[in-house]
Amino acid sequence: MDPVLSAREAVAAAIQEFGTSLAVLSSFQREDVALTDLVLTVAPGVRVLTLDTGRVPPATDAIIAAIEARYSVKVERIIPDQAEVHAMVAQHGLNLFYDNVPNRMLCCDIRKSRPLKLGLAGIAAYFTGLRRAQAKSRANIEVFDRSAEQVKVSPLADWSTDDVVRYTTERGLPEHALYTAGYTSIGCDPCTRAIVAGEDERAGRWWWESEDAVKECGLHFTADGKAERTVDVLLREVLTVAQRA
């Protein structure tokens, strides 16, 4: 099936099932902009949410402004609890993620996963731009993932990189400025770099870690083993300090 038609069918099915209890969760990479276009073309009233971790690159703010102007929407920014951020930084430093995987997971938990849980409160389902071709860890993404409290809908799951670029060009969609610098996956500024030929699309995420590390932040996948157990301990320590503040 044509990838655009398939994506539109998934969007339509989600809108039919969940109605107004839907949102687009976007980091404003190419996939997310294409997804936003697909959704808002059909249902202009759907909310558009983004995680503002406090460490996003300036170019992300610029494309948010472009999206707001193009679709006449106000992007809702989900921000982390500042007491939790301050407690984490006080205990482990601003750039704790460079030290080890558990610290990186802790930072993602404080700045992304915990705020997102609160930001999605009252929402039955949300759209994401996840694609199976992005990395091995995403190979089994479902279009409708019903494994959590909110249903995660990924209409672009079957799209290739070429599909995304083609749709972006045909629709004349705005693009994040970092793509011209060789980025293929864009997240927090200190945790993302451009890739080199032969690397997979998410190789620029947490590039200082070993190749076998799971290059996910916890929003879409739960890590296993020692790193997860360690990050649970670190999180409890941070939350204890934050609650005393």
Domain segments of the chain as ranges: 3-244
Q: Strand 144-145 relative to strand 151-153: parallel, antiparallel, unpaired?
A: antiparallel
- CA–CA distance, 235 with 118 (Å, rounded to integer): 17
Which ranges of the chain have pLDDT less than 70?
Answer: 135, 211-229
> In the annotation, is 217 catalytic?
yes
Q: Considering only CA atoms, which of 120, 111, 128, 127 is closest in space to residue 149? A: 120
Is residue 55 within 8 A of residue 188, CB to CB? The reply is yes
The model's pTM is 0.86
Predicted confidence at residue 215, as pLDDT, reads 55
The CATH fold assigned to 3-244 is Rossmann fold (3.40.50)
Predicted confidence at residue 25, as pLDDT, reads 97
Predicted confidence at residue 152, as pLDDT, reads 96
Choice among 107, 108, 188, 217 that is catalytic: 217
Token couple for 139: 């190979």
